[in-house]
Structure 1
Amino acid sequence: MISVLHVGQASNVPGRIALLLKKEILKDFKIRPECKVILITGTNGKSTTCGLLANILKGTGKKVMYNKSGANLLSGITTTFCRYSNILGGLNYDFIILESDEASLHLITKQIHPDIITVTNLFRDQLDRFGELDTTARLIEKGIVNNKNTTVILNADDVRVAFLKTVNKKIYFGIGTNHESRITNHESWLSDPEEATICPKCKSDLLFDYKSLAHLGNYNCTKCNLKRPNLDFSVTGFKTDNLTINFDIAYNNSKSNFFLPMIGTFNLYNALCAIALAKTISNVTQVQIQKALDSYSTIFGRGEKLIINKKNAWIYLIKNPTGTTEVLKTLIKIPNVRFLIAVNDNYADGRDVSWLWDARFDFLQNHDKNIFVSGKRAYDMALRLKYANINEGQISINENITSAINKSLKSLDTNETLYILPTYTVLLEMQRKGLCKGIMKI
């Protein structure tokens, strides 16, 4: 009914009702013994990695179930199980892929037993809900410890992820040395947000040979012998432009080249993680992977291209300092870009919007067109832009997202593209208000 009335995706409410009827209802669903269950958790990249992996496996002719809506709390995953099961609770699939909220992981793994758990990365996100990163890491460990026979696939470039305290079999992925990787003392990167990292063994400082993104890179301890684990899946080289990434992956003494029609180092990590998962759980070929990368359609708000009233627009979800910085860093290089930034402070966004002050909005200071801001915290966003040395006359404030989208689209020249950067509940609001009606996805 929720979907029929176009007031949402019905991605959580059915699950909430089911959980009221039975607290651990996931145990009652019948998963085929030969079915592989994969859980993907971490701060950034869950939805894209989940979608890429699903597309790869579908391309091999397998039946795949996944929570495409991105609803990753226990209620959302319960909804997914209800939606895709038969009347007897049977799930007739070869692969079940679920992105999981970090704090919900232990609730899910108490009820279902995954073959693989993947952790993408850990960044500050919704501090009022998660607390600091060490707390988030402990929540993930709590979810993994429920299943000691589960294989864990970890981002070795993130020291907190690489050295999670588990006894499980581990497989590591990461980005090897590359000319586009970040040199740690390069002045253009010194102000980028990154998490404090220390040696998990002796608590001394870590020394980085290079960093690929924020605090992700190749590290070793200055005091003890701890270093980044050896990579089972390694990006050995990559080149990027305004629209694509061309990269090489080494694994099992072989190397394959791939082309990704997406932008940003963050999406390179997502693709690497998805390929590592696919290769671990199936006999997928390089050709099948490439076809899946070519045909992948992003989920709502994660780098999604749209046509609205015959105008070009993209939507990129923003939710924390590092993710926002990487999006801005990538988009500002594209010619003829315009921006609409929409910020809410609802529970699912995080009540604390102080993270706006850690994101690199100064990347926009040479942008000579109007920047539109919207959402409940539009004035906070406008103030942040002012302190990023953006002319006040360029900042257009409109708290109503419908009106803001309409006005920003009307201001576009024929050769310009609007990039909408919303927080999570702004995305939901856009959907609920029917702002996606008449929009044709490309």
Structure 2
Amino acid sequence: MARRTGRNGSVIGGRVATVLDGRVLARLAVGRTVVLVTGTNGKTTTTSMIARALGGDGEVATNHLGANMPDGITTALLDAPGKRLAVMEVDESYLGEVAAATDPAVIVLLNFSRDQLDRVGEVRTVARRVGDAVAAHPRARVVAFADDVLCAGAGLRSAAPLWVSSPSSWTGDAGVCPRCDGPVTHAGLRWTCGSCGLTRPPGNWAIVDDDGWCARGPDGVDVPLELALPGHANRLNATFAIAVAAELGVEPAVAAARLRGLEQVGGRYRTVTRPGGTTRLLLAKNPAGWAQVLDLLDEGPGRPVVVAVNSREADGRDVSWLWDVPFERLAGHPVVVAGERSAELSVRLAYAGLPHRLADDAVRATRDTVGAVDLVGNYTAFHDAARVLT
């Protein structure tokens, strides 16, 4: 019924089924090889990449619309009764519950940073809960990001984690050791706790630039990353996907080839043609996500950027995180601000010394711009724009 009325129906089926049978998620997971993907940023994209690397929609059950709480995951499994592989993104706060029900073969830990503090709480608490979920499933293969201090702390709760490594541009949440709460220092590619000596694990999989970007696996073989999706963050997401696929028996070269044609995920990175130019849709909902977007913007010319920020329930009501984003890096880009919290964003940009103008509507602002423009929105601002433009 929800889908007939134009909604995606990605939650309601699971919610009703759970009311009727409190163990429905566990029953639906029986006999499946389950991969759970969690972290603050990149869950939807990495989940889509892993599903594609393992064979795509015809082979894999997945919550590709991003409904990542138990009801959404239940709906995704209800919609795919015959598929033996399941790749599900999971909200960090629900990993323990979902893992207990699904007995995952693989748990993927992408990163942990501040996000929606009024809903999920302090990030170190979230990372510790994820670590508890990891420890409760010793048979699961844990694939974790070595360069994220909190992610590494959670991954080390596994007896034999598989580490993915790449220099990270965001270390704002990485100042305290996850083991002893001592100070963490960063030197080049390494991080170390000054109190207990905990240090960055060596990467089993790493991104290397050797006449072109590659994912280098444990056997030292390089797999070219020939991606349609832009930016270093997606090279990292792809390396996670290749590593997970290899754990489940897919040759890395085969997995990488399956990722080549992926051009957008749920509207993310999609370029829309409009009269007078094009609009590229980008999602950034916290300081760490903005660090990735700024890296991406640095790779191209200084084209106009429309930034839209809302503060609805799905975004988190608190927008103080805007002061932790290095918006100074937008110097050289014509900037327009929009969204429900455009006034607060305008103040932040004023302190950054960035000339900008305010607009009542983000989509209209892109349409008023000649040539190529990037529209960067937080969660609901992004989806509002995507619905109009696509």
Q: TM-score, normalised by structure 2?
A: 0.90
Letter in 2 for 1:325: A
Q: Which of residues 225, 228, 231 in structure 2 aligns to 1:261?
A: 228
2:25 is aligned to 26
CA-CA distance at 1:309 after TM superposition: 4.4
CA-CA distance at 1:325 after TM superposition: 2.6
1:411 lines up with 2:369 in the alignment: yes
1:320 lines up with 2:286 in the alignment: yes
CA distance in structure 1 between the partners assigned to 2:47 and 2:344 by the alignment: 33
Q: Which of residues 143, 150, 168 in structure 1 aligns to 2:140?
A: 150
Partner of 2:206, secondary structure, is strand
CA distance in structure 1 between the partners assigned to 2:65 and 2:136 by the alignment: 26
CA-CA distance at 1:207 after TM superposition: 3.5
2:96 is aligned to 106
Greater Cα offset, 332-341 or 120-129? 332-341
2:247 is aligned to 280
Cα 1:330/1:264, change in 2 over 3 Å: same
Q: CA offsets, 1:173-194, max 9 Å, x none?
A: 112xxxxx58xxxxxx8xx761
Query: Contact 2:207–2:213 (CA<8 Å) still a contact in 1?
Result: no
Query: Contact 1:409–1:418 (CA<8 Å) still a contact in 2?
Result: no
Q: Which of residues 253, 264, 280 in structure 2 aligns to 1:298?
A: 264
Letter in 1 for 2:206: S
CA distance in structure 1 between the partners assigned to 2:138 and 2:217 by the alignment: 28
2:76 is aligned to 80
Greater share of residues in strand? 1
CA distance in structure 2 between the partners assigned to 1:77 and 1:27 by the alignment: 11
Partner of 1:114, secondary structure, is coil
| Unmatched runs of 5 consecutive residues or more in structure 1 | 86-91, 176-180, 183-188, 211-216, 240-244
Q: Which of residues 199, 204, 215 in structure 2 aligns to 1:232?
A: 204
1:89 is aligned to none
CA-CA distance at 1:44 after TM superposition: 1.1
Figure out how many residues of one structure are paired with residues of the other and give that number. Answer: 389
1:372 lines up with 2:372 in the alignment: no
Q: CA offsets, 1:249-297, max 9 Å, x none?
A: 13224333332333333222211111111111113241x2332221113
Q: CA offsets, 1:63-86, max 9 Å, x none?
A: 11111101111121122122223x
Q: Which of residues 294, 301, 317 in structure 2 aligns to 1:335?
A: 301
CA distance in structure 1 between the partners assigned to 2:235 and 2:367 by the alignment: 30
Letter in 2 for 1:291: A
Partner of 2:162, secondary structure, is strand
Q: Which of residues 331, 345, 348 in structure 2 aligns to 1:384?
A: 348
Q: CA offsets, 1:9-48, max 9 Å, x none?
A: 222233223333333321232643xx42100001111111
2:5 is aligned to 5
CA distance in structure 2 between the partners assigned to 1:143 and 1:248 by the alignment: 28
Letter in 2 for 1:397: A
Query: Contact 2:150–2:174 (CA<8 Å) still a contact in 1?
Result: no
CA-CA distance at 1:323 after TM superposition: 1.0
Query: Contact 1:62–1:94 (CA<8 Å) still a contact in 2?
Result: no
1:218 lines up with 2:190 in the alignment: yes
1:352-371 mapped onto 2 (5 Å cutoff): 352-367=318-333, 369=334, 371=335
Cα 1:236/1:419, change in 2 over 3 Å: closer
CA distance in structure 1 between the partners assigned to 2:215 and 2:136 by the alignment: 35
Letter in 1 for 2:23: E
Query: Contact 1:156–1:229 (CA<8 Å) still a contact in 2?
Result: yes
Query: Contact 2:207–2:236 (CA<8 Å) still a contact in 1?
Result: no
1:199 lines up with 2:177 in the alignment: yes
Cα 1:344/1:202, change in 2 over 3 Å: closer
CA distance in structure 1 between the partners assigned to 2:287 and 2:74 by the alignment: 30
CA distance in structure 2 between the partners assigned to 1:345 and 1:173 by the alignment: 33
CA distance in structure 2 between the partners assigned to 1:339 and 1:383 by the alignment: 17
1:396 is aligned to 358
| Unmatched runs of 5 consecutive residues or more in structure 2 | none
Q: What is the percent sequence identity of the aligned residues?
A: 28
1:174 lines up with 2:170 in the alignment: no
Cα 1:341/1:161, change in 2 over 3 Å: same
Letter in 1 for 2:4: V
Q: TM-score, normalised by structure 1?
A: 0.80
